[in-house]
Amino acid sequence: MSLFISDALAQQGAAPSDSLLGLLFPIGLVVILYFLMIRPQVKRQKEHKKMVEALTKGDEVTTMGGMVGRIVDLGDNFAKLEVAEKTEVKVRRQSIESVLPKGSLKEL
């Protein structure tokens, strides 16, 4: 029977430096995750919020859905875009992705 069962040998307790080294890897992963993913996303969100707050009538914008138009009316939560002559679309201010340079839309 002793062929199949090996004798259990007592192990020595782990040294305190080993436990600190074991924590170093997860802490390093969290730091790398913060600098590569979380921090850039927060920065992008702040820039987008600042851009949305600075919108004015007459700005030429693109929406996240791909529509391009000129702002003709602004509310607290919504903006009206003129996408063609006498064609206005109401969109959420947060769905405006970017402001185009003046004169980008010549056909409106």
pTM higher than 0.75 = no
For residue range 9-50, what is the model confidence (pLDDT) as tens digits? 555 555 556 777 888 999 999 999 999 999 999 999 999 999
SS (H, E, C) the chain: CCCCCCCCCCCCCCCHHHHHHHHHHHHHHHHHHHHHHHHHHHHHHHHHHHHHHCCCCCCEEEECCCCEEEEEEECCCEEEEEEECCEEEEEEHHHEEEEECCCCCCCC
Tell me the C-alpha distance between 60 and 47, whole Å: 18
For residue range 42-81, what is the model confidence (pLDDT) as tens digits? 999 999 999 999 999 999 999 999 999 999 999 999 999 9
